[in-house]
Chains A and B, each alone.
Chain A
Amino acid sequence: DSGVTQTPKHLITATGQRVTLRCSPRSGDLSVYWYQQSLDQGLQFLIQYYNGEERAKGNILERFSAQQFPDLHSELNLSSLELGDSALYFCASSVGTVKETQYFGPGTRLLVL
């Protein structure tokens, strides 16, 4: 158990809908990262927050957004969902922002029908 929790574990929705994925980092970790893993793909970095502020952005679609709240949990919002958004979404956390081991949650499996 990495100490990072993600909810829900599974999510099935329809095209055009909007969903919110939630992540609680390990106790004491200030950084939260979001990654997407599509079929047969490696993990693609989406976005990072540190202590409530956006720190780095990857190939995150404009339809996707994220935020980190004062209690340090984070939410990833996916809107106008398309079939190709079906993937595993992982959250990771670390103490700081540089050269810190990232600890991953179990992921949320999203299926868009």
Chain B
Amino acid sequence: DQQVKQNSPSLSVQEGRISILNCDYTNSMFDYFLWYKKYPAEGPTFLISISSIKDKNEDGRFTVFLNKSAKHLSLHIVPSQPGDSAVYFCAASVINTGTASKLTFGTGTRLQVTL
């Protein structure tokens, strides 16, 4: 049962434009969400996170939006740069229990930023 879903396996965007990566989740217990970026032959790198008490978090070119009622989050990259080409993983966690925060990952979206 895939609790975190990234339905678009790939996305191609022109340099300078906005990239929008989407993620849906089914477990209503999730209260903390993260995006990781992964280059080939490297481990995932943390990008940005958002708590369920917020609906938006911004860090430079990266903004994450959370719609709890739709169980949907999205990552916006503006403007997109060629160096952003990577696989992006959405991840979710339950932290309000105060216990261990294992991450549940989606299957990833491969972003290609073209010149």
Contacts and interface: CB of A to CB of B under 8 A. Distances in A.
Given A42-B106, A43-B105, A98 B100 contact: yes
A31 B41 CA distance: 23
A106 B100 contact: no
A105 interface: yes
A100 B101 contact: yes
B103 interface: yes
Contacts of B4: 42
A2 B32 CA distance: 22
Nearest to A50: B100
- What interface size band does chain B fall in? 20 to 34
B89 interface: yes
Contacts, number: 70
Contact of B89 (A43, A48, A58, A97): A43
Nearest to B94: A98
Contacts of B36: 104
Given A104-B43, A104-B44, A48 B100 contact: yes
A99 B32 contact: yes
Interface in A1-15: 2, 4
Contacts of B81: none
A58 B102 contact: yes
A98 B99 contact: yes
Given A42-B105, A45-B104, A106 B98 contact: no
